[in-house]
Structure 1
Amino acid sequence: MVGRACREPKPSCSVPDSPRRASPSRPRPRSGPDEQKEVSVKIRVLAALPQEVAQQLCVCSCHRYGPGKKKKRRKMSHALKQVFNKDKTFRPKRKFEPGTQRFELHKKAQASLNAGLDLKVAVQLPPGEEQNDWVAVHVVDFFNRINLIYGTISDYCTEQSCPVMSGGPKYEYRWQDEHKYRKPTALSAPQYMNLLMDWIEVQINNEDIFPTNVGTPFPKNFLPVVKKILSRLFRVFVHVYIHHFDRITQMGSEAHVNTCYKHFYYFVKEFNLIDTKELEPLKEMTSRMCH
Structure 2
Amino acid sequence: MSAGRRLEPTEISAHEYMSLMQRWISDKIDDVKLFPTDPSTVSFAPNASYVSATVLSVPESEDWVGRRSGFPKEFASTCRTIFLQMFRVYAHLYWSHLVDPFYHLNLEKQLNSCFSHFILTATSLDLLCAEDLKPVQQLVDLWAANGTFPPGSKAYSLAHVQSGEQLMQCGLEV
Matches within 5 A, 1:194-205: 194-205=19-30
How far apart, CA to CA, are the structure 1 residues paired with 2:9 and 2:31? 24
How far apart, CA to CA, are the structure 2 residues paired with 1:183 and 1:206? 30
SS in 1 for 2:137: helix
How far apart, CA to CA, are the structure 2 residues paired with 1:229 and 1:223? 10
Normalising by structure 1, report the TM-score.
Answer: 0.37
How far apart, CA to CA, are the structure 2 residues paired with 1:222 and 1:183? 29
Contact 1:175–1:192 under 8 Å retained in 2? no
Shift of 1:183: 6.0
* Other-structure match for 2:138: 284
SS in 1 for 2:24: helix
How many pairs were matched up?
Answer: 114
Which runs of 5 or more residues in structure 1 are unaligned? 1-173
Shift of 1:186: 2.6
* Other-structure match for 2:35: 210
How far apart, CA to CA, are the structure 2 residues paired with 1:205 and 1:176? 24
* Other-structure match for 1:239: 92
Shift of 1:274: 1.5
* Other-structure match for 2:120: 266
* Other-structure match for 1:124: none
* Other-structure match for 1:189: 14
Contact 1:176–1:183 under 8 Å retained in 2? yes
How far apart, CA to CA, are the structure 1 residues paired with 2:131 and 2:37? 32
> Higher Cα Rg: structure 1 or 2?
1
How far apart, CA to CA, are the structure 2 residues paired with 1:183 and 1:220? 31
How far apart, CA to CA, are the structure 2 residues paired with 1:268 and 1:255? 20
RMSD of the alignment, in Å? 1.8
Amino acid at match of 2:22: M
Contact 2:83–2:127 under 8 Å retained in 1? yes
Instruction: Name segments (4+ residues, structure 1) moved above 6 Å.
Output: none
* Other-structure match for 2:63: none
Shift of 1:252: 1.4
How far apart, CA to CA, are the structure 2 residues paired with 1:221 and 1:183? 27
Normalising by structure 2, report the TM-score.
Answer: 0.60
Shift of 1:249: 1.2
Which runs of 5 or more residues in structure 2 are unaligned? 43-69, 150-174
Using CA pairs under 8 Å that are at least 6 residues apart, name the structure with larger relative contact order, 1 or 2.
1
